[in-house]
Amino acid sequence: GESVGLHLPTLSVQEGDNSIINCAYSNSASDYFIWYKQESGKGPQFIIDIRSNMDKRQGQRVTVLLNKTVKHLSLQIAATQPGDSAVYFCAENYTGRRALTFGSGTRLQVQP
């Protein structure tokens, strides 16, 4: 049956500050990682991705860092804005598997 609702970890930041959202993964075979943003009542929206042959990738206001040694992924958002408030999920897969496995998510709350 349905699990008891879990409380998503919440990161609360001030507008203009930088945000860092973390994600741990367990599958050492995973070689492709994506960060998604999900607003209430909507589907996930792609933010940035990274392959396992890289340890850092930058986009517009966002940076993803990958540490394969400790199986850790992070998303850095620069100059966080109120519109960044959402739930953020990391997702992973590996060569030969096309479906994504999602992490548990982090709620980002941006205080004006």
Partner 1 sequence: GAVVSQHPSWVICKSGTSVKIECRSLDFQATTMFWYRQFPKQSLMLMATSNEGSKATYEQGVEKDKFLINHASLTLSTLTVTSAHPEDSSFYICSALPGMGEAFFGQGTRLTVV
Nearer to partner 1, 69 or 98 (CB): 98
Distances (CA, A) of 62 to 2, 6, 21, 94: 34, 27, 11, 23
Site string for partner 1, 28-67 (x = CB under 8 A): ------x-x----xxxxxx--x------------------
Minimum CB distance to partner 1, residue 16 (Å): 28
Of 40 and 69, nearer to partner 1 (C-beta) is: 40
Taking the least distance from each CB to partner 1, the nearer of 85 and 103 is 103
Cα–Cα distances in Å, from 38 out to 52, 53, 54, 56? 24, 27, 25, 23
Q: Where are the alpha helices (DSSP H) in 13-55?
A: none
Helix (H) or strand (E) holding 7: none
Q: Of the listed pieces 6-14, 54-62, 64-72, 73-81, which binds partner 1 according to CB under 8 A?
A: 6-14
Strands 10-14, 62-67: pairing is unpaired
Q: Which stretch binds partner 1 (CB under 8 A): 14-22, 52-60, 65-73, 98-106?
A: 98-106
Question: 102, 71, 73: which is closest to 89 by C-alpha?
Answer: 102
The site for partner 1 (CB under 8 A) is made up of: 1-3, 5-8, 34, 36, 41-46, 49, 89, 98-105
